[in-house]
Amino acid sequence: TILIVDDEKDIADLLEVYLKNEGYTVRKFYDPVQALDSVLAEPVSLAVLDVMMPGMDGFTLCRKIREKYLFPVIMLTAKGEDMDKIQGLTLGADDYITKPFNPLEVVARVKTQLRRYKQYNVGANPPQAPEDYDHKGLYICPDSHKCTLNGETLALTPFEFDILWYLCKNHGRVISAEELFETVWGEKFLESNNNTVMAHIARLREKMHEPARKPRYIKTVWGVGYTIE
């Protein structure tokens, strides 16, 4: 079940047609407040949210969804500005698409996000080696997709989990943003993708209650990349 929220009716209706043609059930809303009420009543598998909407913008809606749910969220932005993308990713979005777009691209992104999410929620083994990582109170297990910090369960999105696991698996080695992006996202790295990596690292640190200036776990090696020592 896919949630579409966009006050531009033509766009919402178009996405509905394409997604239904792929066999998905679609819940479509032009009003973000009504959409949030619907999600709270009955969660969905994935949400596609427009950024610029009256009453409640897509960023606020994404943040409210992330307070309770971990299903994938794709943001639609008309501006194409890096700060919009960074803000959306920092609030917990998994992907973003800039308007105008090809509806087939949205369908492809939806399939990719659902495939990744289901991989960790239907018992399928992730592609990494199955060993656990347990160090300084941080425990992460790729088999169970479980992560705890000092006994507290961390509610991580699939991308956040993959980033943390890859850093843990390579602890002691500095991982560049390019390597991290191409490993986790499985796409060719572009310079603009550095902002995507930075936003997800910032979100991870926030969930791990890491101090911004002196993080204990995920450390930045300026000009090189990230490492867990």
The token duo for 141 is: 């297990």
What is the number of residues in the chain? 229
> What distance in Å separates the CA atoms of residue 188 and residue 57, rounded to the nearest whole number?
31
Kindly report, residue by residue over 163-182, the tens digit of the pLDDT.
999 999 888 889 999 999 98
- pTM recorded for the entire structure: 0.59
Between 124 and 169, residue with greater pLDDT: 169
161 in Cβ contact with 207 (< 8 Å) = no
Q: What is the mean pLDDT of the chain?
A: 85
> What distance in Å separates the CA atoms of residue 56 and residue 42, rounded to the nearest whole number?
20
Mean pLDDT of 92-117: 87
Which amino acid is it at 133? Y
CB burial of 76-112 (b: ≥16 within 10 Å; e: otherwise) equals bbeeeeeebbbbbbbbbbbbbbeeeeeeeebbebbeb
The token duo for 218 is: 């995920």
The token duo for 156 is: 């991580």
> What distance in Å separates the CA atoms of residue 84 and residue 86, rounded to the nearest whole number?
6
Which residues, including other chains, have CB under 8 Å from residue 153's CB and lie 6 or more apart?
146, 147
> What distance in Å separates the CA atoms of residue 97 and residue 73, rounded to the nearest whole number?
11
Between strands 138-141 and 146-149, the pairing is antiparallel
Between 188 and 123, residue with greater pLDDT: 188
Mean pLDDT of 201-210: 90
Find the range with the poorest average confidence among 25-34, 125-134, 175-184, 187-196: 125-134
Q: Is the peptide bond before 211 cis (omega within 30 degrees of 0)?
A: no
Q: How many CB atoms lie within 10 A of CB 176?
A: 16
> Which band of pLDDT confidence, cut at 50, 70 and 90, is reported for residue 124?
very low
**126, pLDDT greater than 60:** no
